Structure 1
Amino acid sequence: METTSRIDNGQLHIWLNGVAAKDAAAFKALYQASSPKLFGFALRILNKRELAEEILQESFVNIWNNAASYQSSLAAPMTWMMTIVRNRAVDLLRKLDHDVEIDADEFDPQIVLAMESGDLSPLQQMELSQDAVALAACMSRLEAMQRQAMALAFYHDLSHSEVAAHMTMPVGTVKTWIRRGLDKLRNCLVKVPAL
């Protein structure tokens, strides 16, 4: 069985296109190639094997149903699938009444991991890692509620109304937090010295 470390993004993209066309063989190949890494990712978030297995299964159902919406211009195939796994895992933690806090110390490795791509050169990976460190540092400077609203909107792909419902805040407040947070991040990232 191939592992994701030996599979290029082009092959993953081909399989995702097949899955979008409801090709069961492409789905099986995609599952066999990516499930070990996605399972490990879910396990790190949930810390329970049975929960990680449940999330992996739900995530692949989601991948099957939504492969046609995948856009290679927005994310590498593995990044897109890891986002689905992360969103499902975080949703499960919320249902289990665990407190999910977006913490800059935990945020950086997750960004780096999600952005891993086999077609990046070592220099590109280093630059991406430095960008992730800078972004995590700037995110940590935001107020907690603003940071949470932005994380839900951008890293969990929730709409403003979904973020507002999750945080039990008015939509207008959430929109303002996100708009101002983006301005603060932009200003912070301009000021962060090169690492």
Structure 2
Amino acid sequence: MEEDTVAGLIAKVAAADRAAFRDLYSATSSKLMGTLLRILGTRSEAEDALQEVFTRVWLRAGRFDPEKGRGMTWLIAIARNHAIDRLRSRSPAAAGDDGDELDSVADTSLSAEGSLIAKGEARRISDCFATLEPDRAAAVRGAYLDGLAYTDLADRYAVPLNTMRTWLRRSLLKLRECLDQ
């Protein structure tokens, strides 16, 4: 769906148009569900979050300014921020007995060959991270592994938000270039 159409539907939702809200849901819910599922990891939690996101959209549609941003981008930002809030509100016990989330993700059924390949790839990724400046590497880890919001990272490193976005974009490009070698 085109951005102009999404923005138009959001404007109608701001005027409490229920038909426009149904159309907006039909047009965007699958993309937002994908975003939520990637961040939250479980379908049931992503479904709950999607319902809450659309409640927020209904309540906050009047705040949308088509001059400042595109409709789908605005919706994804609401979904992403809500998912990050949900992750932050999880108790450490929900992540596992000792709170180490990586242990619950590890695949212990790897063959010896698979284990060696995985270690080699992990070493490559670690080596590529080492090519980044330490603060940039930490910002990338914070944004994409810890789920921190760009604004939180900008505050942490005392840089403007757009500078943080540039750091992250350039760092990801540098990582991709390193991994492609």
Measured on the aligned residues, the alpha-carbon RMSD in Å equals 4.0
**Which one of the candidate residues 40, 46, 49 is aligned to 1:52?**
46
Contact 1:42 1:86 in 2 (8 A): yes
Q: Distance in 1 between matches of 2:84 and 2:13?
A: 25
Measured against aligned partners, the alpha-carbon deviations of 1:71-116 in whole angstroms (never above 9, x if no partner) come to 22322111110111111111111111368xxxxxxxxxxxxxxxxx
Measured against aligned partners, the alpha-carbon deviations of 1:15-74 in whole angstroms (never above 9, x if no partner) come to 000001111111010001100111111111111111000110010011011111112232
**Which one of the candidate residues 178, 182, 193 is aligned to 2:158?**
178
Show the counterpart of 1:24: 18
Matched, 1:141 2:121: no
User: Identity across aligned pairs (percent)?
Assistant: 31
Alignment CA distance shift 1:155-1:76 (3 Å): farther
Matched, 1:69 2:63: yes
Moved over 4 A (4+): 137-140, 151-154, 180-190
Q: Which runs of 5+ in 2 are unaligned?
A: 96-131
Contact 2:29 2:50 in 1 (8 A): yes
Deviation for aligned residue 1:179: 3.4
TM-score by length of 2: 0.57
Q: Which runs of 5+ in 1 are unaligned?
A: 1-6, 100-136, 157-162, 168-173
- Aligned pairs, number: 133
- Structure (1 or 2) with the larger CA radius of gyration: 2
Alignment CA distance shift 1:153-1:74 (3 Å): farther
